[in-house]
Amino acid sequence: GAVVSQHPSRVICKSGTSVKIECRSLDFQATTMFWYRQFPKQSLMLMATSNEGSKATYEQGVEKDKFLINHASLTLSTLTVTSAHPEDSSFYICSAREGVATEAFFGQGTRLTVV
């Protein structure tokens, strides 16, 4: 299957700082990217959907000013957690899909710990 690379895999940051997570599609054009958040022992909750060149569509309850999503190219989307707090500590996973393809491919996830 297609490869989606997410970086970094783990990050620890201080409360109040911002953290950027990258999601790259390595061998296909990701016209749509999805960002999910997963709490321990829980399911994945969709945070936002982004289409290349457009503003992201956020799910209800997700603060768009706190979780900035940029999808400026067909191979890269970024999620920036601004002014991070300990409650933002979580596992963040991106997925990418080409056109109207059936499958969305997932990155390996980023474990964010805010101290």
CB of 38 to other proteins, least distance (A): 9
> Cβ 14 to other proteins, closest distance in Å?
23
In angstroms, give the least distance from the CB of 12 to other proteins. 15
Contact 26, 1 (CB under 8 A): no
Q: Which two tokens stand for residue 69?
A: 């999503």
Of 61-69, 70-78, 79-87, 100-108, which segment contacts other proteins by CB under 8 A?
A: 100-108
Judged by CB under 8 A, the residue of 11, 13, 46, 68 near other proteins is 46
Rg (CA), the chain: 13
